[in-house]
Chains A and B, each alone.
Chain A
Amino acid sequence: MIKLEHVTKVYKKSEGPAVADLNLHIGKGEVCVLVGPSGCGKTTTMKMINRLIEPTSGTIFVDGQNIMDVNPIELRRNIGYVIQEIGLFPHMTIAENIATVPLEKKWPRDKIRARVDELLQLVGLDPNIYRQRKPRDLSGGQRQRVGVARAMAADPPVLLMDEPFGALDPINRGKLQNEFLRIQKKIQKTIVFVTHDIDEAIKMGTKIAIMRQGKLVQYDTPENILNAPASNFVINLIGGNRTIKQLNLIRVGEMMKEAPPVVELSAPTVKARELLAARGKDLLFAVEKDGRLAGYLSPQNAREEGQVADVMQEIPNSITPDATLNDALSEMLAFGKGFVCVVDEGGKPVGLVTLGTLMKAVGGNDNNS
């Protein structure tokens, strides 16, 4: 889908090239993460793809076409572009921001309106609330969502993302990353993603391109980079705890155990005791009438008489199946328990991750590292 061949960029005033003889093939539907220390040429590389920066030599193909043969304005309208939150237009409403490219492409009004609403829903913002708001009325995470929606407005096959989640706090960043991966699964865009955060690269990338001083150091899948770093530079970039980082590669949904039996809040504890005994489990989930997770019960809790609601223990936090095992580990550490509950988007319990799950996950990869 995107092909860079012998691409070099030399800035007039600097010594040495910013990007030197770079070759990169990015397949359709792949997320290629460009990662490396600042000044390694990753942003320059990305900006050459939509001709914000023109290469000194070499050729770039997008969808089989040499981009130098395409009008840059046309080219950019067919490549989504997301930058850190400063990129929203502060004087326009959220709807106008998202409509930027469709307006430039002169779509009819009602088609634009429908598309704006569709995208707001896709990124989890209620169109009726947010359509007419200004960027300053939104939180950092919401603004970033709008940024992503804006880039996808005209449904471009390719997205360029320059540290899109860089300005967010770690919790929001993790949430948005998971959400974005969920969206990407649906839309299957070809994405070039720039970051300096190797953990983000491991989590987001189908392939990671590690760059240093304008050169490609290693280009491979996250698994292979973790298991077989090409040089000391890559080892240092990955940092310690390679095993723990592998937890970033695995989704909770792939490894979670079956959810323990559930019991309604209003049920008497006798019922909980029966359930525990019948299934031979040592954990029960307590749920609301509509099936949403409310708390959990251990055999000790169930021993007391009364209603489930009186004896259950509250669950401060839970995760969704698209979170990574690394997220699960953080939750366990924060929660101080050896397990974390997995719930779907509606809050209903769908599974369970325990320390044993994590051990199994890293154990499976242990022999190659």
Chain B
Amino acid sequence: MTTTLKKLASWLLVPLLLAVIGTLVTVYFVSNPTDGIVARQLQYPKVLAYLVRHVFLVILSSLLAILTAVPAGILLTRKGFRFLAPVIINIVNIGQTIPSIAILALFMSILGLGVRTAVFALWLYSLLPILRNTYTGIQGVNPGIIEAARGMGMPPQRVLWRIEFPLALRVIMAGIRTAVVINVGTATLSTFIGAGGLGDLIITGLSLSRITITLTGGILAALLAILADYFIGQVEIHLLAE
């Protein structure tokens, strides 16, 4: 019992620390406004709403990306689809070279303003790291191990789920981690298409020349990225320990 408590405490240490830093920064900036403009812009409910929106954008788009890119990556390693892999990976690669702000602008002109467009663009942008890592992770499994499994009479589905997927999990998780962390940063740009998030604070501060507003948004976004990285890292350790 005490060991589980200890484990939980050590696990919570980093998130708590990040939360404390975030809260302190926010409280400091909100309670010490430099002038009336800052006081009007920086209010607790507003900051909280931006934060929640930001997290919402990241989680939704990342989940969608995982749910599409992992199966797609697996599919590309299957016999009938292997020939497609270079083509698909290249297309997604090219997509990744387009600046994120350009993708937002592009899809704004098609899908209009708002959350939907932001989630779509973020999803598209997270696809590559996950897809590529899923593909290379599974391709990288020692063929001797797969042959041993087949030779002992494991059906192809079971070979995938009992052997290939668990052995590729480390690489797949690394892709997801990269994607989500990038996503936290890219989500600040959603402000340009009216989807909200911490980017709103950053841009407002910049356009009003009030550095504390920008700092509040920027610091919270940075802390969020660190938190996401830590969290997925922990999931990874947990999954791979088994």
> Beyond A89-B163, A91-B166, A91-B167, is A76–B152 a contact (Cβ under 8 Å)?
yes
**CB of A52 within 8 Å of the partner chain:** yes
Of the listed stretches A80-88, A190-198, A200-208, A313-321, chain B binds A80-88
**CB of A73 within 8 Å of the partner chain:** yes
Q: Mark A47-63, 1 if CB is under 8 A from B, else 0.
A: 10010100000000000
> Beyond A91-B166, A100-B154, is A86–B144 a contact (Cβ under 8 Å)?
yes
Instruction: Judge whether B153 and A101 touch: CB under 8 Å.
Output: yes
**CB of A237 within 8 Å of the partner chain:** no
CB contacts (< 8 Å) of A90 on chain B: these are 145, 167
Instruction: Judge whether A73 and B155 touch: CB under 8 Å.
Output: yes
The residue in chain A whose Cβ has the minimal distance to the Cβ of B155 is A73
Instruction: Judge whether B154 and A104 touch: CB under 8 Å.
Output: yes
**CB of A74 within 8 Å of the partner chain:** yes
Q: Mark A123-167, 1 if CB is under 8 A from B, else 0.
A: 000000000000000000000000000110000000010000000
**CB of B3 within 8 Å of the partner chain:** no
Instruction: Judge whether B152 and A81 touch: CB under 8 Å.
Output: yes
CB contacts (< 8 Å) of A275 on chain B: these are none
**CB of B82 within 8 Å of the partner chain:** no
Interface residues of B (CB under 8 A from A): 142, 144-145, 147-155, 158, 163, 166-167
CB contacts (< 8 Å) of A73 on chain B: these are 153-155
Give the interface SS of chain B, mostly helix, strand, loop or mixed: helix
Please give me the 3 A-B residue pairs with the lowest Cβ-Cβ distance, nearest first. Answer: A77-B153, A76-B153, A87-B148
**CB of A75 within 8 Å of the partner chain:** yes
> Beyond A89-B145, A90-B145, A90-B167, is A83–B153 a contact (Cβ under 8 Å)?
no
Instruction: Judge whether A104 and B144 touch: CB under 8 Å.
Output: no
Instruction: Judge whether B153 and A52 touch: CB under 8 Å.
Output: no
Q: How far is the CA of A160 from the CA of B148 in the complex (A)?
A: 11
CB contacts (< 8 Å) of A74 on chain B: these are 153
> Beyond A91-B166, A91-B167, A104-B158, is A83–B152 a contact (Cβ under 8 Å)?
no
Distance from A301 Cβ to chain B, minimum over Cβ atoms (Å): 54
Q: 20 A-B residue contacts at CB 8 Å?
A: A47-B151, A73-B153, A74-B153, A75-B153, A76-B152, A77-B152, A81-B148, A81-B152, A86-B142, A86-B145, A87-B144, A89-B145, A89-B148, A89-B149, A90-B145, A90-B167, A91-B166, A101-B153, A150-B152, A160-B151
Contact of A87 among B145, B153, B155, B158 (CB under 8 A): B145
CB contacts (< 8 Å) of A83 on chain B: these are 144, 147-148, 151
CB contacts (< 8 Å) of A91 on chain B: these are 166-167
CB contacts (< 8 Å) of B142 on chain A: these are 86
Instruction: Judge whether B144 and A76 touch: CB under 8 Å.
Output: no
Distance from A91 Cβ to chain B, minimum over Cβ atoms (Å): 5
CB contacts (< 8 Å) of A75 on chain B: these are 153
Contact of B151 among A52, A89, A104 (CB under 8 A): A52
Distance from B156 Cβ to chain A, minimum over Cβ atoms (Å): 9
CB contacts (< 8 Å) of A151 on chain B: these are 152
> Residue among A75, A88, A91, A151 with the most chain B CB within 10 A?
A91
Beyond contacts A76-B152, A86-B145: 19 other A-B pairs, Cβ-Cβ < 8 A, are A52-B151, A73-B154, A73-B155, A74-B153, A78-B153, A81-B151, A81-B152, A83-B144, A83-B147, A83-B151, A86-B144, A86-B148, A88-B145, A89-B145, A90-B167, A100-B149, A100-B152, A100-B154, A104-B154
Q: How far is the CA of A184 from the CA of B151 in the complex (A)?
A: 21
Q: How far is the CA of A84 from the CA of B163 in the complex (A)?
A: 17
Instruction: Judge whether A104 and B147 touch: CB under 8 Å.
Output: no
Q: How far is the CA of A197 from the CA of B114 in the complex (A)?
A: 70
Q: How far is the CA of A89 from the CA of B166 in the complex (A)?
A: 10
Q: How far is the CA of A101 from the CA of B149 in the complex (A)?
A: 9
The residue in chain B whose Cβ has the minimal distance to the Cβ of A76 is B153
Contact of A52 among B144, B145, B150 (CB under 8 A): B150
Q: How far is the CA of A78 from the CA of B152 in the complex (A)?
A: 8
CB contacts (< 8 Å) of A100 on chain B: these are 149, 152, 154
The residue in chain B whose Cβ has the minimal distance to the Cβ of A147 is B148
The residue in chain A whose Cβ has the minimal distance to the Cβ of B142 is A86
Instruction: Judge whether A76 and B150 touch: CB under 8 Å.
Output: yes
CB contacts (< 8 Å) of B144 on chain A: these are 83-84, 86-87
Q: How far is the CA of A73 from the CA of B152 in the complex (A)?
A: 8
Q: How far is the CA of A90 from the CA of B163 in the complex (A)?
A: 9
Q: Mark A22-63, 1 if CB is under 8 A from B, else 0.
A: 000000000000000000000000010010100000000000
CB contacts (< 8 Å) of B152 on chain A: these are 76-77, 81, 100-101, 104, 150-151
Distance from B131 Cβ to chain A, minimum over Cβ atoms (Å): 23
Q: How far is the CA of A75 from the CA of B151 in the complex (A)?
A: 10
Q: How far is the CA of A88 from the CA of B154 in the complex (A)?
A: 14
CB contacts (< 8 Å) of B153 on chain A: these are 72-78, 101, 104
Distance from A166 Cβ to chain B, minimum over Cβ atoms (Å): 12
Distance from A106 Cβ to chain B, minimum over Cβ atoms (Å): 12
Instruction: Judge whether A76 and B151 touch: CB under 8 Å.
Output: yes
CB contacts (< 8 Å) of B151 on chain A: these are 47, 50, 52, 76, 81, 83, 160
CB contacts (< 8 Å) of A88 on chain B: these are 145, 148
Distance from A201 Cβ to chain B, minimum over Cβ atoms (Å): 22
Q: How far is the CA of A77 from the CA of B147 in the complex (A)?
A: 14
